[in-house]
Structure 1
Amino acid sequence: MIEIVKINTSDLELGMYVSGLDRPWLETPFLLQGFRIETAEDLGTLRRFCQFVFIDTEKSSQQEHALRRKVRTQRPRIPRQTMFPTRQLKTYTDSADWAEEFPRAETAVAELSSGIEEIFQQAAGGAALDVVRVKRSVEPMIDSISRNPDACIWLARLKQQDHYTYQHSLGASVWAVALGRQLGLPRSDLRSLAIGGLLFDVGKLRVDPELLGAERQLTPEELQQVRNHVIHGVEMIGATGLMNTDVIAMVTHHHERHNGSGYPQGLRGDEIPIFARIAAIVDCYDAITSHRPYARAISPCTAIKMLYNAKDLDFQAELVEEFIQAVGIYPAGTLVELSSGEVAVVVAEYRTRRLRPRVMVLLDADKQPLTSMRTVDLLHETEDASGRPLDIIQALEADAYGIDMTSIRL
């Protein structure tokens, strides 16, 4: 008989099967909801993040039987190399720290932002897309993310909220390259992801702006006009003579969904080109974490949970999990509240310790601005001034307590 028991983490042993935690799974480093404790490292991690957990006694006592049953009933995880059979994947390591990379990232993102705005304005006026300039504009950003993604991720979070189409394209491009780096894709593919991220929504330049910013429910005819941005985008890309099939796939299929519920063709699963599957994730993530005319931005932490819940429904599970690894639960630029009551912004994400990034404290425990901001490295500083545990307790909305993120200067 299946029996679930609550047990203090101090009493855990190897071989026990953890079926539940005393906190949401996404607030821990564990990607899988349910796992067997196999190593001392597993024990240490559980004890660090949880006071108690829930143990499935049947799976704990009948390990081999439970493991065989689990393998039969769960869809096997698709390896990276299987998703990209013709690519030579690599492992990226940070070759620059935050302080070294930030000024280079600022220059790269500023160049990309001004470039894409000018290119889009020209295209909106009837000119052909300047693909040559697009290709040139993305190179410094790709260089920066290859060295260390945190600085560009910070800047993508702080992008201006006006001119949503331009800034959304910039954000999607950054997230796409960050995910490509996580996946180990070569430079040529990072370039395709960067260009595709910039251009997959370019067809919106031919859609009535009033429809794009409408704060009411659209009629079926109006909704179809908005969806036609995909057709417009394909036409605009075709007019440039660009032959990159991965970029074209991102433009054509970034609104397809894993379960077949998307458009324009209702493709499902592996029918959707892999780069379009990536585009769908970054498009959704950047959109819901940005202020739009008809919706407020949500926190990155909440957005990650939404993506996680959409695994194998809207998005391929493996790519969602890789995206979470790429940007973290609290990406650089995220406002957070600490257990001390202070409010801080995440400066650098430790991709191996996702819940303990480096943060800059902006408000004191009474939520009043500090006269001088200070940096706290949660990886090493584990207690506050009173000796109590110092942790992130929640992510905040982008404008919490009236903070203007775009005014923050490091």
Structure 2
Amino acid sequence: MAIQQAKVFVEDLQRGMFVSRLDRPWTRTPFALQGFYIRDLEEIRQLQKYCRYVYVDVVKSVGDVGVKLRKIVRTAGEQNAGPQTPAAKGGHRRIPVAINCKPVQIRHNTYAVPEPARREAPRARQLHDRIIRGMHEVMVQLKTDRPLPTTQVNQTVGLMVDSVLRSPDAFSWLARVREKDEHTYSHSVRASVWAVVFGRHIGLRRQELVQLGVATLLKDVGKLYLPDDVLKADKRHPRAELEYRKFVDYSVKLLSSDPNIDHQILNIVQAHKEQYDGSGYPRGLRGGQIPILARMCGIVTFYDEATNPRGAEFPLPPSKAVAQLYELRDCAFQEQLVLEFIQSIGLYPTGTQVELSTGELAVVVEQSHERRLKPKVMLVTDRSKKLLDKPRLFDMAADDDRKQALVNKGKKSLAEVGLITITQDLDPSQYPHIDVAKVRDQYLYEQRLPAFITRFLPGR
């Protein structure tokens, strides 16, 4: 198959090139997710600011530069038959494959602008507790061979879907923060929340959101029939891995015993461990053979397992999990859906610990859905990393707007106002003294001053 993309360093970019991929997630840049033509020098300067190199679609590139690119790529392909890939050199990185698969229809902005998380938080917490109790009841009934309470599960997930449609951040909090009494099946609950947030972002219909949420919640019920040494093993030998993979068939068998189960839910559960390049299980499906909702379920499953490794005391920083997911685009997972999922949760999901350009540490408490890199945060330390007596709320987007207004009026320059940015997310294990759950409760359930004001209280 002919090469479709060429790696181009940003200093070599020209007008007419079609930029199809970056050397980093799109959410770290101001550019559109679907790719774009370079039209002027300003776009080249922007790319040089954010990237070292990009991937250019040699077929879509236009003008003289497109002709030259296609000639260069064709010549390189003839001279370098059978190039060594990282895997061939002994590395472990999987190589993306070209698969004929229709793009997923995305309908951004299908739903209303989210309500403030604090308004939805009490209702979301009650629903979250109800889901936890419901999962406990499911596991108990499985052990006693009684019928599964799937009707109640569907009703509860339907209520969760409605809550996420109103305010994704309220439920995202409950998926992000580990509680001290965490249950063994909490992965399924968290993944179900991520799945519905993801589905909301791309504009799935409510019925599809419920199907996706229920399937993600129940996808692991078959693990109840796996031996503990197989289920909890850090590394499995081939025979144990084959035994582990049976949980998918067990789950489908258990769920299909309920005559009221939605057939689409069974399809999602059966295919959620399939992979885009055909390397998954149980049937080795690839590309468009995998139902879209199952592809989405696979992505959120991977993300939650990456951020919450089994046996780890602290969750993994989201940026590391996102990086792992991004490396698997068009290998394990469809690239379009990977990019949409990253956009749906934001580079710094609600509950993430971050460091600001001021040196202060903070916790992300709510997304700015139009400006994902400028969320609301609770400042928890001062510039010297000393814990504050009481966290302070800071709306990064509002702060930017205020400072930009001063610049627009000519009162100050951009350098003088000093726009504040997030420099990195933090490894929670390095800052165990930051109580994220306490910050959450203070933000969601306590009354306080408006976010914009608290940054400028006397003493700051």
- For residue 371 of structure 1, the aligned residue among 389, 397, 412 is 389
| 1:404 maps onto 2:435 in alignment | yes
> What CA distance in whole angstroms lies between the structure 1 residues aligned with 2:338 and 2:50?
28
Tell me which amino acid in the other structure corresponds to 2:303: Y
Tell me which amino acid in the other structure corresponds to 2:438: S
Q: How does 1:27-66 map to 2 (within 5 A)?
A: 27-30=28-31, 35-38=36-39, 46=46, 50=49, 63-66=62-65
Assess, with a 3 A threshold, how the Cα gap between structure 1 residues 98 and 387 changes in structure 2: closer, same or farther. Answer: same
Task: Tell me the CA shift for residue 173 of structure 1.
Answer: 0.9
Counterpart position of 2:324: 306
Aligned residues of 1:200 and 1:251 also touching (Cα < 8 A): yes
SS in 2 for 1:160: coil
Unaligned runs of 5+ residues in structure 1 are none
Deviations for 1:205-251, whole angstroms, at most 9, x for unmatched residues? 11123432224x22322222221111110111011124422210121
Task: Tell me the CA shift for residue 103 of structure 1.
Answer: 2.2
> What CA distance in whole angstroms lies between the structure 2 residues aligned with 1:223 and 1:77?
29
Task: Tell me the CA shift for residue 40 of structure 1.
Answer: 10
Task: Tell me the CA shift for residue 389 of structure 1.
Answer: 3.5
Counterpart position of 2:87: none
Assess, with a 3 A threshold, how the Cα gap between structure 1 residues 65 and 150 changes in structure 2: closer, same or farther. Answer: farther
| 1:235 maps onto 2:234 in alignment | no
Counterpart position of 1:189: 208
Counterpart position of 2:349: 331
Deviations for 1:347-383, whole angstroms, at most 9, x for unmatched residues? 1112321111111112222322211111111112248
Q: How does 1:61-100 map to 2 (within 5 A)?
A: 63-66=62-65, 78-81=102-105, 91-100=110-119
Tell me which amino acid in the other structure corresponds to 2:424: Q
SS in 1 for 2:257: helix
Tell me which amino acid in the other structure corresponds to 2:146: A
Task: Tell me the CA shift for residue 267 of structure 1.
Answer: 0.9
SS in 2 for 1:376: strand
| 1:141 maps onto 2:160 in alignment | yes
> What CA distance in whole angstroms lies between the structure 2 residues aligned with 1:395 and 1:55?
24
Task: Tell me the CA shift for residue 300 of structure 1.
Answer: 1.5
> What CA distance in whole angstroms lies between the structure 2 residues aligned with 1:3 and 1:137?
50
Tell me which amino acid in the other structure corresponds to 2:129: A
> What CA distance in whole angstroms lies between the structure 1 residues aligned with 2:258 and 2:167?
32
Tell me which amino acid in the other structure corresponds to 1:287: E
Task: Tell me the CA shift for residue 95 of structure 1.
Answer: 4.6
Aligned residues of 2:101 and 2:288 also touching (Cα < 8 A): no
Task: Tell me the CA shift for residue 266 of structure 1.
Answer: 1.0
> What CA distance in whole angstroms lies between the structure 2 residues aligned with 1:304 and 1:329?
8
Assess, with a 3 A threshold, how the Cα gap between structure 1 residues 345 and 43 changes in structure 2: closer, same or farther. Answer: farther
Which runs of 4 or more aligned residues in structure 1 lie more than 6 Å from their structure 2 counterparts after TM superposition?
12-24, 51-57, 72-77
Aligned residues of 1:291 and 1:297 also touching (Cα < 8 A): yes
Task: Tell me the CA shift for residue 143 of structure 1.
Answer: 0.9
> What CA distance in whole angstroms lies between the structure 2 residues aligned with 1:33 and 1:185?
19
> What CA distance in whole angstroms lies between the structure 1 residues aligned with 2:320 and 2:251?
30
Assess, with a 3 A threshold, how the Cα gap between structure 1 residues 18 and 204 changes in structure 2: closer, same or farther. Answer: closer
Deviations for 1:173-224, whole angstroms, at most 9, x for unmatched residues? 1111111112211111111011001011111111123432224x22322222
Structure with greater Cα Rg = 2
Assess, with a 3 A threshold, how the Cα gap between structure 1 residues 293 and 125 changes in structure 2: closer, same or farther. Answer: farther
Aligned residues of 2:16 and 2:37 also touching (Cα < 8 A): yes
Counterpart position of 1:391: 421
| TM-score, length of structure 1 as denominator length | 0.82
Assess, with a 3 A threshold, how the Cα gap between structure 1 residues 55 and 240 changes in structure 2: closer, same or farther. Answer: closer
The total of aligned residue pairs comes to: 392
Assess, with a 3 A threshold, how the Cα gap between structure 1 residues 317 and 34 changes in structure 2: closer, same or farther. Answer: closer
| 1:223 maps onto 2:223 in alignment | no
Aligned residues of 2:219 and 2:269 also touching (Cα < 8 A): yes
Task: Tell me the CA shift for residue 39 of structure 1.
Answer: 7.8
> What CA distance in whole angstroms lies between the structure 2 residues aligned with 1:77 and 1:39?
32
Tell me which amino acid in the other structure corresponds to 1:194: G
> What CA distance in whole angstroms lies between the structure 2 residues aligned with 1:245 and 1:121?
24
Deviations for 1:260-281, whole angstroms, at most 9, x for unmatched residues? 1111111111111222111110
> What CA distance in whole angstroms lies between the structure 2 residues aligned with 1:76 and 1:352?
32
| 1:208 maps onto 2:227 in alignment | yes
Assess, with a 3 A threshold, how the Cα gap between structure 1 residues 364 and 236 changes in structure 2: closer, same or farther. Answer: same
Counterpart position of 2:375: 357
Q: How does 1:271-286 map to 2 (within 5 A)?
A: 271-286=289-304
Deviations for 1:300-346, whole angstroms, at most 9, x for unmatched residues? 12212222221110001121122122111111111111111211111
| TM-score, length of structure 2 as denominator length | 0.74
Unaligned runs of 5+ residues in structure 2 are 1-6, 75-97, 404-415, 444-460
Tell me which amino acid in the other structure corresponds to 1:284: F
Tell me which amino acid in the other structure corresponds to 2:157: V
Q: How does 1:115-154 map to 2 (within 5 A)?
A: 115-154=134-173
Counterpart position of 1:289: 307
Task: Tell me the CA shift for residue 123 of structure 1.
Answer: 2.0
> What CA distance in whole angstroms lies between the structure 2 residues aligned with 1:3 and 1:223?
41
Tell me which amino acid in the other structure corresponds to 2:371: R
SS in 2 for 1:329: coil
Aligned residues of 2:16 and 2:63 also touching (Cα < 8 A): no
Aligned residues of 2:38 and 2:44 also touching (Cα < 8 A): yes
Deviates more, 1:14-23 or 1:160-169: 14-23
CA RMSD of aligned residues (A): 3.7
